[in-house]
Every structure is written in structure tokens, then in C-alpha cells.
Amino acid sequence: MSLARATVPLAGAPFLPAGPPYSAAALRAWAGVEFDLPPLDPRLRALHSGGAEPSPALANLAGYVDGWARYPHYLDTLAPDSPVHEKKLLERALTLHRWRAMGGLATLEQGPMGGNGAPPQRILDLGCGIGRFACWFLDRGHEVTLVDGDLRSLRHAVWHAAGGRGALDAWWTTAELLPPVAETGPFDIAVLAEILNYVERPEDVIRAVSDRLTPDAAILFSVEARFGWALATDVAPGLAEGFFGGLAHRSGDRHVRCYTEIELHQVFAGWSVSLAPSHWVLSGPFEMAVGADVVHGVVDDEAGVLARMLDWEDRFEAHPVSAPLHRAWVGVARRRPANG
Ligand SMILES: C[S@@+](CC[C@H](N)C(=O)[O-])C[C@H]1O[C@@H](n2cnc3c(N)ncnc32)[C@H](O)[C@@H]1O
């Protein structure tokens, strides 16, 4: 449910400005406040308290409950002291670079901070996590509706945004039960960064997202790729089935669907999709070969570090052995014209 329904047990919720959307600047007092929200998807309350996943795909959400208890610094990647802060920022820069090259960021970078007088874009960030992409859009003055099935991640997204630019709302729900468009209004852009791997029926999610978009809207997405994913250093033992069959499952931990190009086009049937293989360097044997120091300096010199990384990306893409072993697909989808 929307942040409008947020409560803070015992202490009481801080002042909520007019909205939704809520001015991020006016939410400053919400930073660090452990608010509760009624989950729109009723399955989430028991999961949040440590219950077993009610369906295989929701194993990821059970895994996050455990993760926040055991290694919170690895999950809150926007915190400067996170061990993977630089890596996750560089990965974000790479994904944005790919979306930009496909024309997916044009409306976002023109207005409103781009200064051409266009209104802010209305963005649905589905599976927003701790707000890695949401904060980038908010920093540019746009309106972001944060949606995640993990309340702890969603809270961190609100905390990172609080006091900054743009305007937001936050919904605790699943990709399987999205906020009603009658309440949110339609969106100009949907951001689906690393979420289509974790949902029950990806085609249904794309249909439900589509129902919440304006006619000219774009979906910016990234997903784990079938063959590169299995080589990643953060893949747990026993999950090699993701390489062979495309689906890796471990109860209470994770459920990952890894895509081939053909499978992605099936999920986006009826959409025109630009797709780029990506993410050789920050994952698996290529990450180790290039060296972890490839990320150093990204906080102060993102463009320079990204340029060096793109040289490596190009070389791995050009080599016949490494070419099919990329970790991710990055894409932009637009509705195909009715007569197209
Ligand atoms: C790998 S993280 C990506 C986070 C963010 N988009 C980013 O790129 O930094 C996946 C996120 O999806 C959320 N998630 C997983 N399954 C979900 C589901 N069925 N519905 C909604 N959110 C889900 C998780 O809680 C997690 O925050």
C-alpha cells in the first residue's frame, strides 16, 4: 500500500507532506524510521516475519529476510561503507549507459533538471530494492513509485531518497499484484532492473505493467543471462540447473530464471525490444581476470572508470569464447505500433 498508509508502531509516523507523490525533500524526517505498511499482496506479511515462501518464485523474498539479518551491508549497496558500494555503482553506470545507447533515457535526461521545461517523468520502479536506480531518477527531479516485495529493502529506498530531489511514493507488494492504476495513475516509464528473473510468470508481469503505462511509454529492463549467470562468483553451489534448464531454485533462498535472447523476446511479445548483451566484467571469471580494482575511483570519476570498463566489455563481446558468457541482458522495450 502507498506510503499514505505508513505507520510507526509505538513512536508514531513522522509528518507526511501533501501527496502522493511526496516531495523527497519533505520526507527528510523519514530517513532511518522503521515504518510499517499494509502489504497489498497478503502473502508478504508472513514471509516478512520469517515464514516459508508460499510459492517457489517468492523464495527470493525469503532469502532477503535472511540476508538483512545476516549481511545487511551487502544488501544496502548505496551505503558508502558497503563492501560492494563501488561495484554496484559501476554496474548501475553500465546499465544506464546501455539504456542511453538505446534511446531509453532521452525523455529523462531532457527534463526536468535537463531544463527544457518538460514535466517530470512518472516512473514505476518495480523491484526497486534499496533504490539504486530510483535515486538516480529522483536526483534528476522525476517522480518515482517504488515497488518491492521486501519491506526492509523498500524502507532503505525511502531512506536513501529522503531529503533529496524529486517526488515519490512506495508500495509494499509483489510484481504479481501491482498497485491499481486507478490509485497510481499511468506511468511514462517502467524500470524493471533485475526483477524479471524472480517473478512467477514473467509474461503476466509484463501485461500488468503494460496496463499501467501511457501509450508511448518505455520499459527499461535488465535480467540475468542464461549462461553467464552460472559463472558468477555470487551464485550459490547447487544452482547449476540455471545454466542447463534456465531455472535455478533453492527453497528459502532463491529462485532464478536465466534468459536466452529468444526467451526474452517471448516475454515481451507485442513489444519492440532493443537488447544488448552486457556485464562480462563485473561477474565471474572475467571479473577475477580483469581484477576487482576495475571499480576503484567510480565515486569521483564515474565516466572515466566506466570508459575503462567499456573497453574490457567490448573485448569480451568481440571474443568468440567469452561472447556468449555475458552475465546480463540490458534492454528497452516499446509498444509495437498496432499496424507494425
Ligand atoms: C536483485 S534486486 C534488484 C534491485 C534493484 N532493481 C537494483 O537493480 O538495484 C531484486 C529485487 O526484487 C525484489 N523482488 C524479488 N521478487 C519479487 C517479487 N515477486 N515482487 C516484487 N519484488 C520482488 C527483491 O526484494 C529485490 O529488492
Q: Is the CB of 138 within 6 Å of ligand 1?
A: no
pLDDT band at 9 (very low <50, low <70, confident <90, very high): confident
Domain membership flag for residue 340: no
> Nearest-5° angle of CA 89, CA 91, CA 92?
65
Task: Give the distance (Å) from ligand 1 centre to CA of residue 56.
Answer: 15
Domain membership flag for residue 140: yes
pLDDT band at 233 (very low <50, low <70, confident <90, very high): confident
Pairwise CA distance, residues 136 & 121, whole Å: 13
Instruction: Write the pLDDT tens digit of every residue in 34-46.
Output: 999 999 999 999 9
Q: Give Rg (Cα) of the chain.
A: 19
- Looking up residue 270, the CATH number of its domain turns out to be 3.40.50.150
| 272 contacts 92 by C-beta, under 8 angstroms | no
Kindly state the cell numbers that stand for 287. 571479473
Q: Is the CB of 193 within 6 Å of ligand 1?
A: yes
Count of domains observed in the chain: 1
Ligand 1: which residue has its CA nearest to atom 8? Answer: 193
Domain encompassing residue 307: 3-335
Domain membership flag for residue 150: yes
Phi, psi dihedrals of residue 318, rounded to the nearest 5°: -80, -20
Domain membership flag for residue 104: yes
Q: Is the CB of 64 within 6 Å of ligand 1?
A: yes
- Whole-number mean pLDDT of the chain? 94
Supply the pLDDT for residue 335. Answer: 94
**Residue 340: pLDDT over 70:** no
Q: Is the CB of 91 within 6 Å of ligand 1?
A: no
Phi, psi dihedrals of residue 302, rounded to the nearest 5°: -60, -45
Q: Is the CB of 228 within 6 Å of ligand 1?
A: no
Q: Is the CB of 132 within 6 Å of ligand 1?
A: yes
- Counting DSSP H helices and E strands in the chain, the numbers are 14, 10
Of 37, 48, 61, the one to substitute when testing ligand 1's pocket (max ligand atoms within 8 A of C-beta) is 61
Domain membership flag for residue 111: yes
pLDDT band at 339 (very low <50, low <70, confident <90, very high): low
pLDDT band at 111 (very low <50, low <70, confident <90, very high): low
- Name residues whose C-beta falls within 8 Å of residue 115's C-beta, 6 or more positions apart in sequence: none
Q: Is the CB of 150 within 6 Å of ligand 1?
A: yes
Phi, psi dihedrals of residue 249, rounded to the nearest 5°: -135, 135
**Residue 106: pLDDT over 60:** yes
**Residue 149: pLDDT over 70:** yes
| 194 contacts 224 by C-beta, under 8 angstroms | yes
